């Protein structure tokens, strides 16, 4: 899946590349104004001929870097449901009232908080120049081959501007250029058709010339004003489709140096996968996927520059002890690392797997259990456990807390992080809360977070001490963290609660009941003295 590649979210301020920031070349002065260009554009777009036509039903064909598929999108006002099929994978996104959700390829359905970037890639907003919060400049017009006016749009919190071409003959958008992942991405729009007075493109094509691949979207049908039923927009029932187990399972596990690994057996080969409480989906190293001859389904695997791209794949049959996985969907990306001298991690099991039951991590004894939610005995507050209610954002488990005296609801829980981190979204709001202890130039560290392309990213970071860090109702005084002014890869996350805290507990990941339970273990009682916080 493209995973929002072409939506280019806000980025932290950094030194700009002058080549990327440079406006299009070859323009001549235009004998008009940006206001006149936009007025002509608005007139060319038109509008629906009645205010009662709030429903739309449309189908698009997709070719995303060689990955063919279709999308069916049903809308009624602001409510919608999108079904995206790249056989054999099916994903769905939707919004009904204030509730948003995403159904992943393994069948799990999770609430989402952020904007849905996947469902509307081919319907991306072309009206940025008309948005009053953006600054615009008419740069000029192109030559005689494809005469167009070019407007530069500067958007708040975006490092680079974007450029929009308005065809001189039709006043419709024919082209845009935006900077995404360090590359100038060109999008073209054509096959404009009018439906009930509103003119829209039926063909959108995106070129990434540096990487050498493209995305193509063609609308094949559109119905405006038809009947959209409640069933059309309803959230589907969710479950982890691939898994099979009964009772409470003691999984084959190791916890070397705090890395929680379980052994998957695929085609007779034992593979160590890390359990990652804060990973949206499950991943496998692409070299291992190739060795296992896992399918690529026609996706582009390498860019023109030699960059090895992530792709979606399936393990038809795997076992984790007595647990059986059938047709288990994963993302193949480039990563593997040594968790110990005899443990090479080649994959991660994320929220899609963890939602299948209650996963208990026993750090003191190096054991992992998959428990049946109906019969699992989970500690309560009366037992001395800390209960953390979880709010999910498309599979990311977020909990409430307090960092340096400032409340936040955006703390990600992820045992795959060795330490607790505070990120740019918090640091920019409260820089005084996370001072650099060494008071000098920040170092560079690698943050172990998987996305659609790779595992881990380098970021500037520094050591800091929080006078107060409150989590699960418990106050930790003079708590050490790593801080960074960078963001966690486009996510609005203030901090990550990592292994340096979780290792003092038996951790119960009870995602079906939207909670994480922390039961103090023997190491906790040897290390801390619990007192009443003031």
> Of 289 and 126, which is predicted with more confidence?
289
> What's residue 438's pLDDT?
72
What are the angstrom distances between the C-alpha of 440 and each of 378, 445, 478? 46, 15, 21
pLDDT in tens, 223-241: 998 899 999 999 998 888 8
> What's residue 238's pLDDT?
84
pLDDT in tens, 46-65: 988 866 678 999 999 999 98
Task: Return mean pLDDT, the chain.
Answer: 88
Joined together, the tokens standing for residue 272 give 């160590």
- pLDDT > 90: percent of the chain: 69
Distance of CA 52 to the CA centre of its chain: 35
What is the widest separation between alpha-carbon atoms in the chain? Answer: 78
Residue 361 has pLDDT above 90, yes or no: yes
Query: Which of the four pLDDT bands, split at 50, 70 and 90, describes residue 338?
Result: confident
> What's residue 457's pLDDT?
47
Q: 10: which DSSP letter?
A: -
Cross-strand bridge partners of residue 362 = 367, 506
> What's residue 517's pLDDT?
97
What are the angstrom distances between the C-alpha of 327 and each of 237, 241, 454, 464? 19, 9, 23, 44
Query: Which of the four pLDDT bands, split at 50, 70 and 90, describes residue 13?
Result: very low
Is 370 within 8 Å of 245 (Cβ atoms)? yes
> What's residue 16's pLDDT?
83
> What's residue 8's pLDDT?
34
pLDDT in tens, 88-102: 999 999 999 999 999
Residue 314 has pLDDT above 80, yes or no: yes
Residue 456 has pLDDT above 80, yes or no: no
> What's residue 249's pLDDT?
95
- CA distance linking residue 243 with residue 318, whole number of Å: 10
> What's residue 33's pLDDT?
96
> What's residue 341's pLDDT?
77
Strands (E), 41-98: 55-64, 67-76, 79-86, 89-96
Q: Whose CA is closest to 82, among 94, 95, 70, 100?
A: 94
Q: Which residues contact 246 (CB under 8 A, 6 or more apart)?
A: 372
> Of 21 and 452, which is predicted with more confidence?
21
Average pLDDT over residues 116-123: 88
Q: Whose CA is closest to 487, among 440, 437, 428?
A: 428
Residue 443 has pLDDT above 80, yes or no: no
> Of 485 and 508, which is predicted with more confidence?
508
CA dihedral 109, 111, 112, 113 (to 10 degrees): 180
Domains of the chain are 18-233 (2.50.20.10), 243-371 (2.40.70.10), 381-527 (2.40.70.10)
pLDDT in tens, 166-185: 999 999 999 999 998 888 99
pTM of the model: 0.86
> What's residue 152's pLDDT?
96
Query: Which of the four pLDDT bands, split at 50, 70 and 90, describes residue 9?
Result: very low
Tell me the Ramachandran region of residue 494: left when phi exceeds 0, alpha when psi lies from -120 to 50, beta otherwise: alpha
Average pLDDT over residues 187-191: 96
> What's residue 211's pLDDT?
84
pLDDT in tens, 242-299: 999 998 999 999 999 999 999 999 999 999 999 999 999 999 999 999 999 999 998 8
- CA distance linking residue 7 with residue 161, whole number of Å: 14
> What's residue 52's pLDDT?
63
Query: Which of the four pLDDT bands, split at 50, 70 and 90, describes residue 14?
Result: low
- CA distance linking residue 177 with residue 151, whole number of Å: 11
Is 352 within 8 Å of 335 (Cβ atoms)? no
Is 275 within 8 Å of 415 (Cβ atoms)? yes
């Amino acid at each position: 899946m493209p995973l929002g590649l072409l939506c280019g979210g806000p980025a932290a301020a950094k030194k700009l590349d002058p080549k990327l920031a440079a406006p299009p070349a070859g323009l001549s002065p235009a004998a008009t104004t940006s206001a006149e260009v936009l007025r002509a554009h608005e007139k060319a777009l038109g509008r629906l001929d009645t205010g009662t036509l709030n429903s739309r039903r449309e189908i698009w064909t997709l070719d995303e870097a060689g990955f063919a598929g279709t999308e069916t999108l049903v809308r009624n006002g602001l409510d919608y449901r999108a079904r995206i099929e790249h056989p054999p994978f099916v994903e769905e996104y939707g919004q009904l009232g204030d509730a948003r959700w995403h159904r992943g390829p393994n069948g799990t359905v999770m609430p989402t908080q952020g904007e849905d970037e996947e469902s509307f890639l081919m319907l991306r907003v072309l009206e940025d120049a008309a948005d009053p919060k953006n600054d615009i400049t008419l740069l000029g017009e192109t030559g005689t081959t494809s005469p167009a006016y070019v407007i530069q749009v500067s958007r708040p919190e975006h490092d680079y501007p974007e450029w929009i071409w308005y065809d001189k003959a039709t006043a419709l958008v024919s082209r845009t250029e935006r900077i995404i992942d360090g590359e100038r991405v060109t999008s073209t729009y054509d096959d404009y058709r009018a439906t009930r007075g509103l003119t829209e493109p039926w063909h959108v094509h995106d070129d990434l010339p540096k990487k050498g691949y493209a995305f193509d979207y063609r609308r094949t049908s559109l119905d405006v004003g038809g009947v959209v039923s409640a069933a059309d927009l309803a959230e589907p029932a969710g479950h982890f489709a691939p898994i099979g187990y009964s009772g409470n399972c003691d999984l084959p596990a190791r916890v070397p140096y705090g890395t929680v690994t379980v052994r998957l057996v695929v085609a007779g080969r034992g593979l160590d996968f890390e359990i990652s409480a804060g990973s949206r989906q499950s991943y496998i190293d692409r070299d291992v996927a190739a060795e296992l001859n896992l399918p690529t389904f026609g996706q582009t695997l390498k860019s023109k520059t030699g960059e090895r791209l992530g792709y979606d794949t399936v393990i038809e049959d795997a076992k984790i002890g007595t647990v059986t996985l059938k047709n288990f969907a994963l993302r193949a990306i480039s990563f593997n690392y040594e968790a110990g001298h005899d443990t090479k991690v080649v994959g991660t099991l994320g929220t899609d797997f963890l939602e299948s039951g209650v996963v208990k991590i026993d750090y003191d004894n190096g054991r992992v259990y998959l428990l049946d939610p109906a019969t699992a005995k989970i500690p309560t507050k009366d037992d001395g456990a800390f209960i953390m209610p979880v709010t999910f954002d498309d599979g990311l488990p977020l909990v409430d807390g307090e960092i340096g005296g400032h409340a936040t609801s955006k703390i990600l829980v992820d045992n795959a992080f060795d330490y607790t981190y505070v990120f740019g979204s918090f640091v920019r709001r409260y820089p005084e809360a996370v001072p650099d202890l060494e008071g000098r130039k920040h170092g560079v560290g690698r943050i172990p977070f998987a996305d659609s392309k790779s595992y881990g990213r380098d970021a500037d970071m520094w050591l800091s001490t929080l006078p107060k860090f409150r989590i699960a109702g418990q106050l930790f005084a003079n708590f050490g963290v790593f801080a960074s002014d960078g963001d966690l890869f486009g996510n609005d996350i203030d901090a990550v609660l990592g292994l340096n805290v979780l290792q003092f507990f038996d951790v119960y990941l009870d995602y079906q009941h939207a909670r994480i339970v922390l039961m103090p273990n023997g190491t906790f009682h040897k290390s801390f003295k619990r007192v009443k916080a003031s």
